Amino acid sequence: TNKSYTCSLHNEETTTILQGITKGYPTEIDFNILTSQVSKLFLLLTDIINKKISSFYYDWARQIINNMGQPGYYRAKGLSIIAEYLQEYFIIKKKILMKDHISPQTPNQYLYDILVPETTLCLIFEDHQNIALEEA
């Protein structure tokens, strides 16, 4: 139910915040300077993209994929195709997925967090009509 989801989310946020404080993370973030902080990382991120330096997260993801195979039913390639197609339709062509509809997420966050999984779930269900949607 929606109430249990809200309670669960609240408990997770409370736990996460307390863990962060314990680790010495700041209790407040100045979001007004966040983009300038990120822009200082552009050269580093460009070097990661161009594989001039390694990335902890890229190496970690590659290790998981190598150990377990490609993620999910549609694999990385299928998820990429689905995401690009949904982005083209909902963000670029129709301009339906706009920030004012989905705040606090960005259109791309919403697309990857909600629409791509929802689409894959529906497609899996369509492929295997003899299973319940929750099992897909």
- What CA–CA distance (Å, rounded) separates 103 from 123? 27
- What CA–CA distance (Å, rounded) separates 86 from 31? 29
Q: What is the pTM of this model?
A: 0.53
What count of other Cβ atoms lies within 10 Å of the Cβ of residue 79?
Answer: 19
pLDDT tens readout for residues 77-120: 888 899 999 999 999 999 888 888 788 889 998 888 888 888 88
pLDDT tens readout for residues 9-68: 666 677 877 887 888 877 888 889 988 888 898 898 888 878 899 888 778 777 766 665
Q: Under 8 Å CB-to-CB from 47, ≥6 apart: which residues?
A: 53
